Amino acid sequence: MSLEVKIPPMGESITSGILAKWHVKNGDLVKKDQPLFELETDKITSEGTAEAAGQITFTIAAGTDVKIGQVVATINTAVMPPALSPAPISEIPSPVTAVTSPAVRRLAAETGLDPATIAGTGKANRVTKGDMLAASEVGRIIPNAPSAAPAPAPSPIENQKSPIENITTRQTRTKMSKLRQTIAGRLVRAQHEAAMLTTFNECDMSAVMALRAKYQDDFVKKHGVKLGFMSFFTKAVVHALKDVPAVNAQIDGDSIIQNHYYHISMAVSTEKGLMVPVIRNCDQLGMAEIEKSIAEAAKKARDGKIAMADLEGGVFTITNGGIFGSMLSTPILNSPQSAILGLHAINERPIALNGQVVIRPMMYLALSYDHRLVDGKEAVTFLVKIKQLIEDPARLAIGI
């Protein structure tokens, strides 16, 4: 019996994508639920799995544009994989690496590293993408690279290349992914369609850092997650949105839609590009719930397991370039939202305080907003509210 392998439905707004990679070879014997291919769309990246065991035959090559529901392979279920015989003890894979993420499998294929030989730091000792990258960096692994004697140094005359030298021999051309194309298009449209303006302020992080240091151990013991800065800023954003509702609105044609809920989008950097999963009803969540939700959403995005529902419905975005060392930036709006808050690196700087010069851990804050809807006074008021709440986090508890 032959079973068709089709591109699975991904949501109403997704009709096509690119079959980016096959995880198996043409003619392989596959097992039920085994990952078969990686599908890139303009919004998410996901995997297709086998609905039955058998021998697979491709009808589409990797890198091909495909439609939702299109047949990309067939599985001959009459040809079954051989029964697995007990392996010698030395060959039995460690339970630590019995389950690996798509990112780990991809790195294993690219570097030749066996995840079973790496000590995992993830949940239940699973090997993570970070573990693979660290092991690859330590070993400086270059897959299948034959050893060769060093080439003789060119003479000075040979180094004097012609100014019209063809540089294409030193370039690599790859097709832009659907996701990257869509991100690029949205960013350009956001700049063309909105009257975007950015206002800045600086924030003394001393109080939040002291609070985290004081309660971190107890927080981890009780909730099983670290108390980070993002939960403070998320709560501060919710308070500020309530005080300045114009920021929690959006333009639709000639109408203004006022939102009365607080779904906050969190920008996450992934191998495929920037993704912005949404943490819902942040006004109803505690600090621990926010931290857990952010960690889960970021992991799903980086593992390529994000779903369309995870990206929809946000009213305001927070992006943290500070984790990469950014001192200052002007973030671009996440359309159709009307504002986005950019966080930056925390650096000790001298400031004037009560007539004295003191050293404090300072962070620059940037609020980009759509000036068609949000006036300068409202934008500045919103950002000052964020500053006040972070510099005096007791305000978050008593709601002022």
Indicate which residues carry an active-site annotation: 371, 375
Assign residue 284 a region (left: φ > 0; alpha: ψ between -120 and 50; beta: otherwise).
alpha
**Token representation of residue 110:** 């690219």
Between the CA atoms of 59, 52, 96 and 119, what dihedral angle is there, to the nearest 10 degrees?
0
The rounded distance, in Å, linking the Cα atoms of 30 and 32 is 7
Which distant-in-sequence residues (6+ apart) come within 8 Å of 86 by Cβ?
none
The rounded distance, in Å, linking the Cα atoms of 143 and 154 is 27
Which among 263, 234, 255, 247 has a CA at the least distance from the CA of 377? 247
**Token representation of residue 303:** 């593992």
Number of Cβ atoms within 10 Å of the Cβ of 10: 18
Q: What are phi and psi of 208, to 5 degrees?
A: -65, -40
Alpha-carbon dihedral sign for residues 216, 221, 222, 228? positive
Report the SS3 class of residue 92: coil
